[in-house]
Amino acid sequence: MTADLHATASTRLRADGQRYTPRRRALVDLLADSDQPLTIPQLLEHRKDLAQSSAYRNLAILERAGVVHRIVTTDEFSRYELAEDLTEHHHHLICSSCGDVTDFTVPAAVEHDLEAALSKVAKRSGFRARSHRLDLVGTCATCE
């Protein structure tokens, strides 16, 4: 299943005219092993051999290829996670004190109703929806 992940990543990059290099694979591995979106400093901390500029460049490439997703909150750093179709549909708890972001899911029934309501809104306003984003903002257990 990790093999699948790398195969998918490789395919998507190739479709975008890019290679699946060791550095890019390392980034995907780090994101796959995490249960929360990571900032670039966090990624570099885990893999000291990655260069900052390359990390930025490769994450941008992986994002364009649809392999990773970039999240930006009010805190100073962007965060990266695997694209949603490579993991499972989930949402984020965002701590407005420390900036930390962790994943959560809601029951399928709620998700389904929400989806229905949103597609109605989109249709009404001529908006082509690609995805929705549901975050809970507050303070996490450790900042509390």
Contacts with DNA by CB under 7 A lie at 18-19, 21-24, 39-40, 49-54, 56-58, 60, 72, 76-78
CB atoms within 10 A of CB 67: 27
**Least distance to DNA from the beta carbon of 121, Å?**
27
5 vs 31 by CB, closer to its own copies: 31
68: closest CA among 50, 56, 80, 77?
A: 80
Pair 98, 108: CB distance under 8 Å: no
- Which residue number, 32 or 140, has a Cβ lying nearer to its own copies? 140
Q: How far is the CB of 67 from DNA (least distance, A)?
A: 13
Nearest distance from C-beta of residue 4 to DNA, angstroms:
20
Q: Which does 54 bind (CB under 5 to 8 A by kind): its own copies, DNA, none?
A: DNA
**Partner that binds at residue 131, options its own copies, DNA, none, CB closer than 5 to 8 Å by kind:** its own copies
Q: Which residue has the tokens 């694979």?
A: 25
In the region spanning residues 11 to 40, those forming contacts with its own copies, defined by CB under 8 A, are none
Taking the alpha carbons of 80, 85, 87, 89 in that order, is the dihedral positive or negative? Answer: positive
Residue 100 DSSP symbol = -
| Calpha distance 89→124 (Å, rounded) | 25
Strands 78-82 and 38-39: antiparallel
In what side-by-side order are the strands of the sheet with 38-39?
A: 38-39, 78-82, 68-72
Give the nearer residue to DNA in terms of CB position, either 24 or 69: 24
The binding site for its own copies (CB under 8 A) comprises: 70, 72-74, 93, 95-96, 102, 104, 106-107, 110, 113-114, 117-118, 121-122, 125-141, 144
